[in-house]
Chains A and B, each alone.
Chain A
């Protein structure tokens, strides 16, 4: 390509020595796809358990409340890398996933443990998002529902949750952005996401820095516009509420 010449005089340690690109672009393309798949699938899987954890956390029953609290505390107070390693070597050391390849580049024997670990971790955070969202709904809504003869659960399901979920959608979208970044840790266990692609390119080309610069640029170009879009949607939602 015409621009390949631009890099010929650059040192292997240069920030922008992207001369590896013509040959290794696929590593990055695949990496982006893998990263997005990891982030979206893990948050999607986290939503239901998180909702359950949040409802448990708001229960009057001390045991139920405590169980959920313990889970949330455990996953929020230990590093993701540690959780990932324990789940990968511990849980999936026992449960063997066949080496089946999805879309030609997603090795399920690595992808599933990674997604499970990220989803378990994310559910602790999303649970707190849901809890805050439920508590933010005016208590009068539940009282009105109960005064009409609806049970606590019906009031929650029909009246409170629909309002809470609408309010927490931006926060959940932000959780996906967080996961796009956090999932880079999966590279340590050989999951072929974006960071792993960058590492691979760096070690096969001896261009030590630029693959990571490119990875940073890509992460930024995904997350920054996404964050801005979420903020804009949030502003519009708030304006809508005030009417």
Chain B
């Protein structure tokens, strides 16, 4: 992999929570532009913590996170500026319930003066058309289904025109019949060349869309490989054990 195309580098990152729990233990990782990386592993293995360390929603207790050549764990940088490059999609959507769909999408770009309200509205309309929800622009989140909420959460992040999208189990809180519509949006996004890091329990999605799959257990990255290799010929015994349970 050519290092010049690298967008995120994680160097020896560790995270110990206040209670003394070690959630991440010496994790290193490099992600290239346009790459789709899936993170899998058992519950409590540190997948979410890993993802949240990438945009510093969680502050690593050791190591560095380098985004676009800048060490964002450095206290001297303006973190808010660097976070704009990374959109995040949460398990529970986290849409702003007191705002319309359009307001959800345009709030940050307008407040941060990246776009005028008019430009942001036009961009929001385009994004909503892309996911087939243009008619929901003036609806409130409470009026939407889970699948619709998550698709809107995705375009809300896209409205910031990020270079990377981070997903934390985006379909885990959904009714089964709504999983497909969200995965379809993500697949389309992957095809369009977006760099994506996806924590997921959807092994089918990981196999189909990911360029690389990362297996984590007890805070460590235990195996990194292409989906075919990792799913069909897992090397680490714990990967084997995990896959035997979920596949």
**A: which residues have CB within 8 A of B?**
138, 140-141, 143-151, 154, 158-159, 162-163, 166, 243
Contact = CB atoms under 8 A, between A and B. Distances in A.
A154 B98 contact: no
Given A148-B157, A149-B81, A158-B111, A143 B90 contact: yes
B83 interface: yes
The A interface is mostly helix, strand or loop, or mixed, namely helix
Contacts of A166: 98
A140 B94 contact: yes
A146 B156 contact: no
A150 B80 contact: yes
26 contacts: A140-B94, A143-B94, A144-B95, A144-B96, A146-B57, A146-B80, A147-B55, A147-B57, A147-B83, A147-B86, A147-B87, A147-B166, A148-B87, A148-B108, A148-B156, A148-B160, A149-B160, A150-B108, A150-B112, A151-B80, A154-B111, A159-B96, A162-B98, A163-B96, A163-B97, A163-B98
Interface string B57-88: 10000000000000000000000110110111
Task: Tell which of A138, A148, A150, A158 has the most Cβ of chain B within 10 Å.
Answer: A148
Contact of A149 (B84, B143, B166): B84
B112 A149 contact: yes
B188 to A, nearest CB: 21
Contact of B90 (A144, A149, A154): A144
Report the interface size class on chain B.
Answer: 20 to 34
Interface centre among A144, A154, A166, A243, by most B CB within 10 Å? A144
Nearest to B90: A140
Contacts of A159: 96, 107
Q: Which 9 A-B pairs have the closest CB atoms?
A: A149-B84, A148-B108, A147-B88, A144-B94, A140-B94, A149-B83, A243-B142, A151-B80, A149-B80
A143 B92 CA distance: 12
A150 to B, nearest CB: 6
A243 B98 CA distance: 13
Interface in B106-159: 107-108, 111-112, 142-143, 153, 156-157
Contacts of A151: 80
A150 B153 CA distance: 16
A138 B84 contact: no
Contacts of A154: 111
Contacts of B90: 140, 143-144
Nearest to B112: A149
A159 B97 CA distance: 9
Contacts of B166: 147
Given A147-B87, A149-B81, A141 B108 contact: no
Contacts of A150: 80, 108, 111-112
A160 to B, nearest CB: 10
B91 to A, nearest CB: 9
B18 to A, nearest CB: 13
| Best-buried of B55, B84, B108, B153 by chain A (most CB within 10 Å) | B108
A154 B83 CA distance: 14
A147 B96 contact: no
A149 to B, nearest CB: 4
Interface-central residue, B96, B156, B157, B166, by most chain A CB under 10 Å: B96
